[in-house]
Amino acid sequence: MAIVGAILFAFYSVAVAAAWFFFGQSTTILGIAIVGSVLLVGVQYKVGKWAALRSVGAEDMSEDQYQEIHWMVEDISESMNVKKPRLMIADMGVPNAFAVGRKGAGVVVVSRELMQILEKDEIEGVLAHEIAHIANRDVVTMQLGQGIASIVAIVAQYIVLFTGDNDLADFFLAIFVGQIVQFIVMIFVLAISRYREYVADADAKRAIGNGDPLARALEKISQGNAQAAETSRNAQRTRGRGRQNRQRDSGVDQQVSALCIASPERGFLEKVLSTHPPMEKRIQRLRE
């Protein structure tokens, strides 16, 4: 975590130094672009919470109907020294859960499908994992990482424009270079995301005193997601739908998927670009 964080800081430092070297005092437009990107990250953080909840149709979890769940969350929150997050429930089409918000105003969303397949102690493990994300400010951490990627990309684009002839070809080259640079930085940001999943697993294990319930929950979640994906593929072959409908039938919105406790991965490239580490490695660590 320290190494990857240092690399991200180095990217930011190089971007600032390069901006000063190439532009000197003539940094008005560049400064506006960078400030704008920072403000955009802030807006994304504020709007992202609302958008994630709305995308899955989350609604408040009734204390009368789910009293035991609320008690669990109160105990876990107290052990992690965080304010009890708002509990919500949603129909996601797959067994999953995710957390959004900051330490003092977090929200944990659990799918009804998850509640149906997990035992009491397994649900407790999942809740502890999500509350750990809130306690560790992981949403804020990821937003900062994405912000650094945006700033570095903007600086790279302006350097290409400044050092070239500032014609149409340089304009398209700047866009291309910016995308490549942002992609490279995002590889490190995604590495942070995967590491934060291991940390949340470890914190959940510590909070409930045993890693096996969460390990069992992850196994069931993985199986449930695989079954949902297979059902969706069969339906697609039967109906012959296009790509747009296939994405809609996949269960969880792509942006929300990055927040969930489990995210599917298949090939090498998808693992490198995944927000979550391999499920089997997480389960192995929880049972060590």
| Same structural domain, 225 and 275 | yes
Q: How many structural domains are present in the chain?
A: 2
Question: pTM for the full model?
Answer: 0.78
Please tell me the distance from the alpha carbon of residue 72 to that of residue 110, in angstroms, as a whole number.
14
What average pLDDT score do residues 63-78 get? 94
Half-sphere exposure of 22 (CA within 13 A, CB side): 17
* Residue 174 identity (one-letter amino acid): A
Q: Is there a single domain that holds both residue 208 and residue 248? A: yes
Domain that holds residue 29: 2-51+139-192
Of the listed 59, 130, 219, 280, which one is catalytic?
130
Tell me which residue of 125, 123, 104, 106 sits closest to 114, measured CA to CA.
123
Average pLDDT over residues 103-131: 93
The CATH number of the domain holding residue 278 is 3.30.2010.10
**Gap between the Cα atoms of 279 and 288, Å rounded:** 14
- Who wins on pLDDT, 169 or 167? 169
Mapped onto helix, strand or coil, the DSSP state of residue 262 is: coil
Least confident residue range of 2-16, 39-53, 206-220, 239-253: 239-253
Residue 4 has pLDDT above 80, yes or no: no
Q: Which residue has the higher pLDDT, 84 or 50?
A: 84
Contacts of 72-76 spanning 24+ positions with Cβ under 8 A: 72/123, 72/124, 72/127, 73/108, 73/127, 73/131, 76/124, 76/127, 76/128, 76/131, 76/207, 76/208
To the query of whether residue 130 is one of the catalytic residues in this protein, the response is yes
212 C-beta neighbours (distance < 10 Å), count: 15
Question: Of 154, 176, 192, which marks where a domain is finished?
Answer: 192
Same domain, yes or no: 226 and 131 = yes
Closest CA to 191 of 44, 16, 8, 48: 8
Q: Is the pLDDT of residue 82 over 90?
A: yes
Of 52-56, 93-97, 169-173, 276-280, which gets the smallest average pLDDT?
169-173
pLDDT, one tens digit per residue, over 223-271 is 877 776 676 666 666 666 554 444 444 445 555 666 677 665 555 566 6
Q: What is the pLDDT at residue 249? A: 44
Is 25's pLDDT higher than 90? Answer: no
pLDDT digits (tens, 9 = 90+) for 169-213: 888 888 898 889 888 888 888 888 889 999 999 999 999 999 999
Q: Are 30 and 19 in contact (CB under 8 A)?
A: yes
Residues 246 and 109 occupy one common structural domain: yes
**Residues 230 and 124 placed together within one structural domain of the fold:** yes
Question: Domain check: are 125 and 240 in the same one?
Answer: yes
My answer on whether 47 and 64 are in the same domain is no
Mean pLDDT estimate for the chain: 81
Question: Are 242 and 280 within one domain?
Answer: yes
Residues 183 and 225 placed together within one structural domain of the fold: no
